[in-house]
Amino acid sequence: MTRCRGEIILEAQGLEFSYANPVIRDFSLTLPAGMVTGMIGPNGSGKTTALRLLDGILRPAAGTVIFTGAGPLLHLRRREIARRIAMVPQNGTVYFDQTVFHFAMQGRSPHLSLLGFESELDEEVTLRALEMTQLTRYMDAPVSTLSGGEKQRLLLARALAQESEVLLVDELTANLDISFQIELMRLIARITRERNLATLVVSHEINLLATFADNVALMEAGIILAQGTVAEVVNRANLKHLFGLDFTVRMLSDGKPEVLPVIN
């Protein structure tokens, strides 16, 4: 299906979810095609749980997640959801006894025949995913030989091999050097534009998201405090409310904000 840039692909409407206590409360969010949406929030605000609800891994107690053209996720089988939505989990498991190519090939699972055999097309798609993430030179190497940043790129390659329309990314840049953080976010932004994906990136790196995201959602205690363009949402008042700290926010020449905490 051909999507127009800005068309809403995935929409959450009034989600509620609890473990022992409410974690997600009246959560609503839209993810448009061809754009990166960044999600920012303090620890414990429910960001990872929200991603699992958006991916259909968790079932909301109330509300619904709608995939445009396919309907509510609750009406779709897991295999159908996996063809439409790819998740890059926080601290995702990497199987060290596999080669890089075969690990990335796992992303083709939703597309395999009932017999589970990979086709030439599956191999071609996997190879393209490794090319996009600059991992082809390692394709026959054991995953254990990769560096931390390369393993993060491999998790992204596996998700890209799914050829989904929605990409959900949970703290992919955590614990990486700034050069790797920029490399990964630049890659995600480029692929989002080229494939017209609806991408959601959860990160604590405010300036990184402000640089590469088109839209930003601020999350507090299970709800979306604000959602809009980076310039609209990333401001001193919103950040002070969210984190309980004062910030200096100044606009750069490219129209993106630069955020620094005020240390008294």
List, for residues 160-187, the tens digit of each pLDDT value. 999 999 999 999 888 788 888 898 999 9
Q: Is 129 helix (H, G, I), strand (E, B) or coil?
A: helix
Q: Give 143's DSSP letter.
A: G
Tens digit of each residue's pLDDT (9 = 90 or more) over 113-124: 766 677 889 999
CB contact burial 67-82 (16+ within 10 A = b; e otherwise): bbebeebeebeeeebb
Q: What does the pLDDT average to over 66-91?
A: 92
pLDDT of residue 175: 79
Q: Is 34 helix (H, G, I), strand (E, B) or coil?
A: coil
Closest to 203 (Cα-Cα) out of 181, 226, 180: 181
pLDDT band at 93 (very low <50, low <70, confident <90, very high): low
In this structure, of 18-22, 80-84, 225-229, 237-241, the range with the lowest mean pLDDT score is: 18-22
Closest to 55 (Cα-Cα) out of 21, 17, 22, 20: 17
Tens digit of each residue's pLDDT (9 = 90 or more) over 12-30: 999 999 987 879 999 999 9
pLDDT band at 228 (very low <50, low <70, confident <90, very high): very high
Where do runs of H (alpha helix) occur along the chain?
Answer: 47-54, 78-84, 100-105, 120-132, 148-160, 178-195, 206-212, 230-233, 236-243
* pTM, full prediction: 0.93
Q: What does the pLDDT average to over 72-82?
A: 94
Residues 6 or more apart whose CB falls under 8 angstroms from that of 67 comprise: 9, 10, 73, 76, 81, 84, 85, 166
CA–CA dist 29, 11 (Å, integer): 6
Tens digit of each residue's pLDDT (9 = 90 or more) over 242-259: 999 999 999 988 888 999
Answer whether 220's CB lies under 8 Å from 42's CB. Answer: yes
Q: Which CATH class is domain 8-261?
A: alpha beta
Paired tokens of 51 = 């991603």
Closest to 187 (Cα-Cα) out of 175, 205, 169: 169
CA–CA dist 236, 92 (Å, integer): 33
In DSSP terms, 261 is beta-bridged to 247
Q: What does the pLDDT average to over 110-137?
A: 87
